[in-house]
Amino acid sequence: MSATGAEAGGRRAKLYDFRRPDKFSKEQIRTMQIIHETFARLSTTTLSTVQRCMAEVRVVLVDQLTYGEFFESRHGPTTLSILAMDPLKGQALLEMDQILAFQIFQGLLGGSDSPESPPIDRELSDIELAILEKLLIRLQGNLKTAWSQVLDLQPHLAAIETHPQFAQIVPPSEMIILVSLEAKIGNAEGMINLVFPYITIEPIVPKLSAQYWYSSLRKGGETDPALVDRLQGLDLPVEVLVEGERLSLRELGALKKGSLVRLPGLERGEAFLRMGGETVFKMKASPRRGGRSPAYEILDKPKAEAFPEPERAKGDEAESETAALKAALEEFRSGFGGSLAAIAGGVAELRKRQDLLSDQLTLGKPAVVDWDGADSETAGKRPFDFVGRADPGQVLSLLSSEHPQTIALVLSHLEPQVASGILGRLAPELQADIALRIARMGKIAPELLREVDRVLCKRLSAADSDSYAAAGGVDSVAGLLNLADRSTERRIVEALEIADPALAGEIKKRMFVFEDILLLDRGAIERLARRLDPGLFACAMKTVAEGERDSLLESLPAAEAREVKARYEALGRLRLSEVDAAQQKVLAIVREMEESGEIVLPRSS
C-alpha cells in the first residue's frame, strides 16, 4: 500500500527501528516515574539522616534505550550495584557517580562537607566498598517500598563493581528502562541511575499502568505486615501516677522545698497508668510477703473513653477493628502486668538508651557501643588496636591510597606517638588536610568504626606482617661494630665507605650514641667537658632522661657542672633537629679524642 493510500484509509505510517524496539508504552514509562518519585523521596530522607546535612534526590529522566547505549555514556570508574530482583528472574543495576559515593563515604565516617577538598576520581577501596554497602542496603529498602503497590519486591545486593565491563547483566542489544535521579548532598552533585532490563520486569509489565496503579492504591481491608511490625515495635511514653490531695491556689503557691503533700491514693494502694494524656488502666496494690514493696496489679477493665471506637467503622469492618484493638490492649495489659517498680525501671531504661537507638534507626542494626565482647573478631580490644601494634611503615603503605577521611579516622584512634609518626611521613600537602579532618570529625556509628577496623586488620593479616621478624639493618651493624675490636671496626668501616658512603655515615652515627657517654670513665668525661662549649653540651642533653642527665652532670667537675646546668635551665623549647645536630657535634669530638688516644671507648676484648 502506498503512503497516499495509507493516509486515505485513515492510517499513518510510523517509523520503527528493529534494532531499538519500543517495548514500553508511554503510560508504563509514566508509571515507572511515579514509582521512582516515591523512591526519590525516601532516599532524600535516608541520605539526609546518614549524612547529617541537607540532601535532595529527584527524578530527572525516565526513558527506554538499549543496555549498550547506556554504558557507552559511562566514562571512568563508577559505583555499580548489581541487584537481584526476587521474585523476578533477572537483575537490575543501581549506578552512582563517584563524587556522590565519596561524599557519602566521607559523611558516614564523620567528615564535614569540605568544598576545598578536590574531587577523587579512582576506584573504591575495600574499606570504602564495605562502608558504602551499608547505605546501599538502605536504598534497597527504599526500592522495595516504592514498588510495593505493584509487586512485593525483595531486592538484595548481589555484587558491587567499579567498571561497566564487569556488570554485563544482559546483552548490549537488550532494551532497558533507565531511571535517572539527580542527587545533591551538601556541596556534591551527581547522578544515581537505576537500570531495569525488559527481560527482568517482563512478567509485571502489564501491571505498569495507571489503572492498575490507582486500583491498588484504593484497595483496603489488608494491613501491610511491615507496617504492623513497625507499629508493634513503636516505643510510647507511659506514666504511672498516684492521685494526690486537692490543693487551693494559695496552698500551691506556698509550697517550697521540704513541704509535705498528702497522697491519699498511695495510702489506699491505688494508682493509674496514663498514656498520651489519657488514663489507660487503673492499678491496685497487692501486699507481698517479707515486708517487700507491694506489687501493683493492673485491673482488667480499662476506661472506655481512653480508646473510643472509630466513628467511620461500620458493620463487619468495625467489628474486626474493635477486635484487633482489644487484642492489642490485652497484649499491652499482659506485658505491663508486673510491679510498679518494674514499669518505672523499664521506662528509665528506654530513656537511657534513646541516644543509642539513633544508630539503629540510621543503619537498621542495633548500635554497638562497648567494644568488649562485640563479636569474635573485636572482643576484648579497642578500635584499631591491631593497627596500632603493626609496623608503622606497613600501616602507612596501606593508608596512603585511602580516602583522607579514612586516614583521619584511623589516626584519631591511635596512640598520639604512633599517629604522629605516621602523619609526619605522609605527603606534606596531605598532612594539614588530615589534621583539619581530625579536628572537625563528628560522631560515627560504632558498627561503621568496627567495619573499618575489620577490613584494615584483614589487609594487615594478608600482608603476613607477624610472620617476618625484624632482622638486620643499620642499627644491627652499628651494634656489632660497637662490640668489635678497634682493628676490625676500622677495616669494616673503611670498606663500607668505599662501597656505600651514605650507608657508612649512617652506621658511624649509630655506633656510639650520645647516651653512651655515661659508659666512659670519670676522667674521660672530665677531659671531654673541657673540650666542649657548655651551651653545646646543655643543648645535646635536652632529650636525655632526667636520671641519666643527673648522672652525667655528677661526672663533671663542679664548676663545669654548674655552668652546664645553668645553660640547660635557661634553654627554652628546641627543635629535635637542633638537639640531634648538637649531639652529633659532641660525638664527632668524642671520635677525634679516641683517634688521638685521649680517651678509650668501651669495647669487648
For residue range 96-138, list pLDDT tens digits in order: 988 888 888 888 888 876 545 556 777 888 888 888 888 888 8
Domain 385-467 has CATH 1.25.40.10: no
Please state the pTM of the whole predicted model: 0.52
The domains spanning 26-216 and 385-467 adopt the same CATH topology: no
Direct distance between the N- and C-terminal alpha carbons of the chain, in angstroms, rounded to an integer: 116
Q: pLDDT-derived band of residue 193, with 50, 70 and 90 as boundaries?
A: very high
- The CATH superfamily of 26-216 is CheC-like (3.40.1550.10)
Q: What are 543-578's pLDDT values in tens digits? A: 888 888 888 888 888 888 888 888 888 888 888 888
Looking at the predicted structure, is the pLDDT value of residue 182 above 90?
Answer: yes
Alpha carbon distance 122, 401 (integer Å): 10
Decide if 167 contacts 197 (C-beta within 8 A): no
Ordered by start, the domain boundaries in the chain are: 26-216, 238-244+261-351, 385-467, 512-596
In which residue are the cell numbers 537507638 written?
357
Percentage of the residues of the chain whose pLDDT score is greater than 70: 71
Decide if 520 contacts 527 (C-beta within 8 A): no
Helix (H, G, I), strand (E, B) or coil at 76: coil
For residue 57, the model assigns a pLDDT of 94
Phi, psi of 95 (to 5 degrees): -110, 135
CA atoms within 13 A of residue 376's CA, in its CB half-sphere: 0
Architecture of the structural domain at 512-596: Orthogonal Bundle (1.10)
Mean local confidence (pLDDT), 203-231: 67
Radius of gyration of the chain (CA): 38
Looking at the predicted structure, is the pLDDT value of residue 372 above 60?
Answer: no
